[in-house]
């Protein structure tokens, strides 16, 4: 859509987005490209020239922003940062988020004196400014934008707090403490969700990395016992208020897609490399809205023609005229050639609109 007039990107257009989620014949496939700061800094103005050509994908953009760009605090090399959950993060390679290296609940003896951050004041890494959010939403709503809130992290929060190995043992042995930990997180999340609902958001995003490249991190039966009740309580709280639930999780979740639907998930972002297009078609298509996470492991090595072929095949296999399909491309690796970024833009413009 070369005549895109909005200052925001197409995936923030409320009417079309909601139609896609509800299988109600959207005018185009919502699509987005996320480019990490390290990639933006590497390519500088050459990348900005591409961004400026595609306002439909990126929204309105002012050239020169990249000159002022620095790596975010949690992406700076060889740095430690402590978040508001008291988790200590270490970043070894610049441009990437790093990992939690100190877990506040590694020892259960700390549990009784531990308190999550107050969502009225704090997000994971900063402060929540609810008045400013309300003001910004008022402006955005008048422009026809989708109004988003964030439920932050779920399953990944548990292993950030306990440590991955400890959490796996807790779940494998059905430790009574895991129930207490999940209940604590659920209570915190409900407080946060209710704050967003007061602002009349359209969608709430949750993050929950619970998959590996080949399967869930835990057996499906353990998921249903320990995690699904939390998901259901949180997601149904949103759905009862007419709010879309977006669940983001890397890895292969094919074994629990039906559970996600039952718990109230409106949209999930399955990864192509982990799930395969055929696996996604079998388990997701027509059942819930797909926000396809295109193959990040392909982007650094493919030719532009291979990139376009990947996107074309994804659309042909997973899209329907009714909707239920979106796409996103994440460019985090500084080894991704600039021409592959432009090829993705070209493919989105070619394949995200109905063809006669």
Report the alpha-carbon distance of residue 279 to residue 165 in Å, rounded.
29
Report the alpha-carbon distance of residue 32 to residue 348 in Å, rounded.
9
Residue 284 structure tokens: 């997701």
Residue 125 structure tokens: 């890494």
Report the alpha-carbon distance of residue 330 to residue 291 in Å, rounded.
12
Is the pTM here over 0.85, yes or no? yes
Other Cβ atoms closer than 10 A to 221: 8
Other Cβ atoms closer than 10 A to 332: 17
DSSP state of 199: T
Report the alpha-carbon distance of residue 85 to residue 118 in Å, rounded.
10
pLDDT score of 355: 56
Alpha-carbon torsion angle 35, 37, 41, 45, nearest 10: 40
pLDDT score of 356: 42
Indicate the CATH number for domain 10-71+106-351.
Answer: 3.20.20.210
What DSSP letter does each residue of 307-346 carry, written as one string?
A: HHHHHHHHHHHH--TT--EEEEEEE--TTS-HHHHHHHHH
Helix runs in the chain, H state only: 14-21, 37-53, 55-58, 130-142, 155-162, 164-172, 176-198, 220-222, 228-239, 257-263, 272-275, 277-283, 304-318, 338-351
Report the alpha-carbon distance of residue 45 to residue 56 in Å, rounded.
19
Q: Are 55 and 80 in contact, with CB atoms under 8 Å apart?
A: no
- Using CA atoms, how far residue 59 sits from 18, 54, 141, 144, 185, in Å, is 19, 8, 16, 14, 35
pLDDT score of 66: 87
Q: Are 327 and 348 in contact, with CB atoms under 8 Å apart?
A: yes
pLDDT score of 2: 64
- Print pLDDT tens along the chain (356 aa): 668 989 999 999 999 999 999 999 999 999 999 999 999 999 999 999 999 999 999 999 999 988 888 899 999 999 999 999 999 999 999 988 999 999 999 999 999 999 999 999 999 999 999 999 999 999 999 999 999 999 999 999 999 999 999 999 999 999 999 999 999 999 999 999 999 999 999 999 999 999 999 999 999 999 999 999 999 999 999 999 999 999 999 999 999 999 999 999 999 999 999 999 999 999 999 999 999 999 999 999 999 999 999 999 999 999 999 999 999 999 999 999 999 999 999 999 999 997 54
Q: Are 62 and 353 in contact, with CB atoms under 8 Å apart?
A: no
Domains of the chain, by residue range, sit at 10-71+106-351
């Amino acid at each position: 859509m070369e005549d895109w007039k909005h200052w925001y990107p197409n995936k923030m257009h409320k009417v079309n987005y909601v139609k896609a989620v509800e299988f109600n014949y959207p005018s185009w496939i919502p699509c987005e490209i996320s480019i990490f700061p390290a990639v933006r800094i590497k390519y500088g103005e050459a990348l900005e020239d591409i961004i400026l050509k595609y306002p439909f994908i990126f929204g309105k953009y002012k050239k020169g922003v990249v000159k002022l760009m620095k790596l975010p605090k949690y992406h700076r090399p060889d740095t430690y940062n402590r978040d508001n959950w008291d988790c200590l993060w270490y970043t070894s390679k610049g441009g990437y988020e790093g990992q939690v290296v100190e877990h506040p609940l590694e020892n259960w003896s700390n549990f009784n004196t531990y308190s999550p951050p107050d969502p009225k004041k704090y997000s994971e890494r900063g402060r929540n400014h609810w008045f400013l959010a309300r003001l910004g939403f008022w402006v955005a709503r008048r422009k026809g934008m989708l109004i988003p809130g964030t439920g932050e992290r779920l399953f990944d929060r548990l292993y950030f707090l306990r440590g991955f190995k400890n959490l796996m043992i807790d779940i494998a042995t059905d430790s009574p403490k895991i129930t207490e930990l999940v209940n604590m997180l659920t209570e915190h999340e409900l407080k946060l969700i209710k704050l967003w609902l007061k602002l009349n958001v359209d969608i709430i995003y949750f993050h929950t990395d619970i998959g590996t490249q080949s399967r869930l991190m835990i057996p499906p039966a353990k998921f249903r016992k320990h995690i699904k009740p939390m998901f259901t309580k949180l997601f149904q709280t949103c759905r009862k208020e007419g709010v879309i639930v977006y669940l983001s999780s890397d890895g292969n979740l094919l074994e629990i897609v039906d559970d996600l639907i039952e718990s109230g998930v409106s949209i999930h972002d399955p990864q192509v490399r982990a799930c395969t297009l055929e696996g996604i078609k079998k388990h997701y298509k027509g059942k819930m809205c797909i926000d396809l996470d295109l193959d990040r492991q392909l982007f650094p090595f493919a030719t532009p023609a291979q990139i376009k072929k990947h996107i074309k095949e994804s659309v042909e296999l997973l899209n329907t005229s009714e909707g239920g399909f979106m796409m996103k491309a994440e460019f985090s690796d500084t080894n991704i050639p600039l021409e592959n970024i432009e090829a993705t833009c070209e493919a989105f413009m070619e394949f995200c609109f109905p063809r006669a």
